[in-house]
Amino acid sequence: MPLQIPDPVLGAWTKGFPARAAGLRLSEVADADLHLSDLVTPVLTVHEDALAHNEETVLAWAREQGVLLAPHGKTTMAPALWQRLLDAGAWGISVATPWQAEVAIDAGVSTVLIANAVTDPAAVRRLGELLAADEGLRVLCWADSLAGIAILAKEMRDAARPLDVLVELGGAHGRTGARTVEEGVRIAQALSAAPGLRLAGVTGYEGPFGPDRGEASVAAVDAYLRTLVELHTRLDYPDDVRPVLSAGGSSFPDRAAAVLSEAGAEADVVLRSGAFQIHDDGFYSRMSPFGPLTGTAPLRSAMHAWSRVVSQPEDGLALLDAGRRDVPFDLDLPAPQSVAGEVTALNDQHAFLRLADDATVAVGDVVRLGLSHPCTAFDKWRVVAVIDDPDAADPRVIGAVATCF
């Protein structure tokens, strides 16, 4: 189904785009004969060939594994990029909040998985209104407590259509989620008895149980995932529901697919991996299993930042014009790729680049930066340029995507 893609008119608000692009609609950027050298640093770009490679690699792998994908739309909050995932065969789109869900629904996404508990009464009522207005819409959310079920049931009691709810199971030192299988069973029983709600499956997030891809981390992740399967096998689902068994951040989708598939053919295994579409040159390049562990090609980073040298106040130090308002820094600092050195710190609008002994740059030079964590890269940009080849002398701008942060 074609989504409603934002098509704003560019102007001075569009960070990174030149004055001559003002007045263009987003959809007209592809024909504007822009190149990277026309853009204003700092600027974030995505690379078309890497996007396509990552999408094809992961969706083909999922089909081979017999699992479904509801990639996390919060990664980019860009309907144009969601459209690519749905066109490639994604089952739906995951989000993290009711507001993000409404953005997805408004764009036309027909299956939306809210990977979180919804405890705001007004948000629950709004979900009921949206379900009533569109019989083709399916919304699933999570619950990890009797208190949460009570809030959902109160607001959905008289709803025209039921809200699908997954029981969330966590574990010690995890994030949200019931802490034991027995507790999960009690939540499911309350959910089954609640008006306006429908028990639709079991879910959880394995990321906190494996900080790396070491043997101990993988064993801990597998043990946690097996508790999801155990809970699922103990639940009685309505006759009209094919249950969903969902996990899978972008670090352990291979383990989620392998372990959750132990539940057999009576459930849809839905993975929520979202970062794969963009990938990165930092955290996910270290954690992603795609490559030898999955027997696929490795993923490629589809995002780069381009930043200009604004000062060289002392030997071996260059100050760039990209800072915390422009590039992610929560997992790793940006890594220079076009000159040898290291970014050692960020201010709001500056990066401190310590050059290698034999490296040189001049004031005005542009430095390509590899980034870590696409979620916190995209949330700093309302429009992101799409380029053809980041390794070209002057990459061509072949489009742009708008974000809805």
E-assigned strand segments in 82-189:
93-95, 111-117, 138-143, 163-168
Q: Are 13 and 40 in contact (CB under 8 A)?
A: no
Q: What is the pLDDT of residue 367?
A: 98
Closest CA to 251 of 215, 203, 301, 287: 287
Provide the residue-wise pLDDT of the chain in tens; the chain has 405 residues. 799 999 999 999 999 999 999 999 999 999 999 999 999 999 999 999 999 999 999 999 999 999 999 999 999 999 999 999 999 999 999 999 999 999 999 999 999 999 999 999 999 999 999 999 999 999 999 999 999 999 999 999 999 999 999 999 999 888 999 999 999 999 999 999 999 999 999 999 998 998 899 999 999 999 999 999 999 999 999 999 999 999 988 899 999 999 999 998 889 999 999 999 999 999 999 999 999 999 999 999 999 999 999 999 999 999 999 999 999 999 999 999 999 999 999 999 999 999 999 999 999 999 999 999 999 999 999 999 999 999 999 999 999 999 999
Long-range contacts of 179-185 (CB under 8 A, 24+ apart): 181/227, 181/230, 181/231, 181/234, 184/231, 185/231, 185/234, 185/235
**Can you tell me whether residue 133 is helix, strand or coil?**
helix
Q: Going by DSSP bridges, is the β-strand pair 138-143/111-117 parallel, antiparallel, or unpaired?
A: parallel
Q: What is the pLDDT of residue 174?
A: 84
Q: What is the pLDDT of residue 143?
A: 98
Closest CA to 192 of 130, 230, 143, 228: 143
Q: What is the pLDDT of residue 249?
A: 80
Q: Are 218 and 255 in contact (CB under 8 A)?
A: yes
If residue 45 lies in a helix (H) or strand (E), which one and from where to where? strand 43-47
Q: Going by DSSP bridges, is the β-strand pair 268-271/244-247 parallel, antiparallel, or unpaired?
A: parallel
Q: What is the pLDDT of residue 264?
A: 86
Q: What is the pLDDT of residue 163?
A: 98
Q: Are 282 and 251 in contact (CB under 8 A)?
A: no
Nearest-angstrom CA–CA distance, 187 and 177: 11
Q: What is the pLDDT of residue 250?
A: 86
Q: What is the pLDDT of residue 125?
A: 98
Q: To 5 degrees, how large is the angle CA 177–CA 183–CA 189?
A: 105
